[in-house]
Amino acid sequence: MRSATAAGLALCFSLSLAVLAPAQAQVYPDRPVKIVVPFPAGGTADAVPRLLGDFLSRKWGQPVLIENHSGAGGNVGAEFVYRAAPDGYTLLSSPPPPLVTNHNLYSKLNFDPLQFEPVSVMAHVPTGLFVNPDKIKASSVPELIDYLKQNPDKVTAATQGNGTTSHLTSEMFQLMAKVKLRNIPYRGSAPALQGLLAGDVDLMFDNLGVSMAMVNSGKLKLLAVASPQRLSDLPKVPTMTQTLPGFESAAWYAIVAPPKTPRAIVDKINADVSDALKQPDIQSKLKNLSAEVYGGSPERAAKYMSEEVARWGNVIKAANIKIEQ
């Protein structure tokens, strides 16, 4: 009798949750929403959620607060959101590292990135190979590879930090081109870019966002892009795959929610993010960051991230990359 009563109570509780989740979504949000960015301010990873956050704030009639919680390759901010209440009021906006690569890089994480609830991959930006023209005289990828083979382990490459997209892309380049670079890790894209501009390092694999302004001003040189085909906005810039077949890399920016966030709330956020990505002014501003709209359903986001886990897992294994916290 007692077990039957307990089973009945459990069933009632489950049914009440099923009814409560859609009701929560109907009133969501009724207070400020926090979007955590696990990297420093100043880079594209910070610019994209701020751009969409402005739109969401107006649409929701609630403040959307962007907070930067950097450290440990994005793990600090990711863990903060992982442990937040699964109610949609604390979200994570992140590039790949803490979502698809860090669990293959670190021997131990205090969160399981595969348990986040994917909401949307908002946009992606092809990676470019940038050089300081005062430090590197090569004007093409083949010329750079020849120089590196003649000067092994002498050329320095800035990265956004150990395990970031720029670092893994640098490792993929070294594996495929059979050359050796000295990777110099920074704490994010903005300080790495400043190091490249100052001549403290020689080259950098970075997304095409903020760095393109420095190319247009002549302070940096873009040797190639890591997209499958040449970009319509940069028709004269060759692709990495023309020299190294199969070489592809892109930074992307996703929104995820804490584990066990109700699907109704995930769908509500996804729908409003999708609405934001349809706005001409937002598309224009993303284009100024060299970002292409991705969007789509939570299932599309989950599939994309799963494919990225496999892509970079292969590089991490081949390069034998490990990071200790």
Number of folded domains in the chain? Answer: 1
Higher pLDDT, 12 or 247: 247
Q: What span, in angstroms and rounded, lies between the C-alpha atoms of 125 and 33?
A: 26
Note down the domain range covering 269: 29-125+250-319
Residue 61, phi-psi category: left (phi > 0), alpha (psi -120 to 50), beta (remainder) = left
Instruction: Tell me the CATH number at 72.
Output: 3.40.190.150
Q: Is 94 in contact with 74 (CB distance < 8 Å)?
A: yes
Span 238-277, pLDDT tens digits: 999 999 999 999 989 999 999 999 999 999 999 999 999 9
With pLDDT > 70 as the criterion, what percentage of the chain qualifies? 92
219 is a domain residue: no
pLDDT of residue 5: 55
Amino acid type, 86: P
**Would you tell me how many other CB atoms lie within 10 Å of the CB of residue 177?**
19
Please state whether beta strands 33-37 and 156-159 pair in parallel, antiparallel, or not at all (unpaired). Answer: unpaired
191 is a domain residue: no
pLDDT mean across residues, the chain: 91
With pLDDT > 90 as the criterion, what percentage of the chain qualifies? 74
Got the DSSP string for 227-240? SSS--TT-TTSPBG
Residue 204 has pLDDT above 90, yes or no: yes
104 is a domain residue: yes
pTM, 2 dp? 0.79
Q: What is the four-CA torsion angle of 94, 102, 43, 138, rounded to 10 degrees?
A: -140
pLDDT of residue 161: 82
Q: Which residues pair with 12 in a beta bridge?
A: none
298 is a domain residue: yes
Q: What span, in angstroms and rounded, lies between the C-alpha atoms of 95 and 37?
A: 9
Residue 9 has pLDDT above 60, yes or no: no
Q: What would the mean pLDDT of 106-132 be, rounded to a whole number?
A: 95
pLDDT of residue 24: 61
296 is a domain residue: yes
138 is a domain residue: no
* 100-128 burial code (b ≥16 CB/10 A, e <16): bbbbbbbeebebebeebbbbbbbbbbbbb
Q: How far is CA 321 from CA 101, 106, 129, 166, 204, in A?
A: 11, 9, 21, 14, 19
Q: What span, in angstroms and rounded, lies between the C-alpha atoms of 59 and 52?
A: 11
Candidate from 48-57, 68-77, 177-186 with smallest mean pLDDT: 68-77
Q: What is the four-CA torsion angle of 11, 268, 66, 217, rounded to 10 degrees?
A: 140
**18 falls in which pLDDT band (50, 70, 90)?**
low
Span 160-203, pLDDT tens digits: 888 888 999 999 999 999 999 999 999 878 899 999 999 999 99
279 is a domain residue: yes
Candidate from 123-137, 146-160, 206-220 with smallest mean pLDDT: 206-220
267 is a domain residue: yes
Please state whether beta strands 156-159 and 182-185 pair in parallel, antiparallel, or not at all (unpaired). Answer: parallel
**Which two structure tokens, joined as six digits, stand for 324?**
């200790």
> Coil, strand, or helix at residue 225?
strand
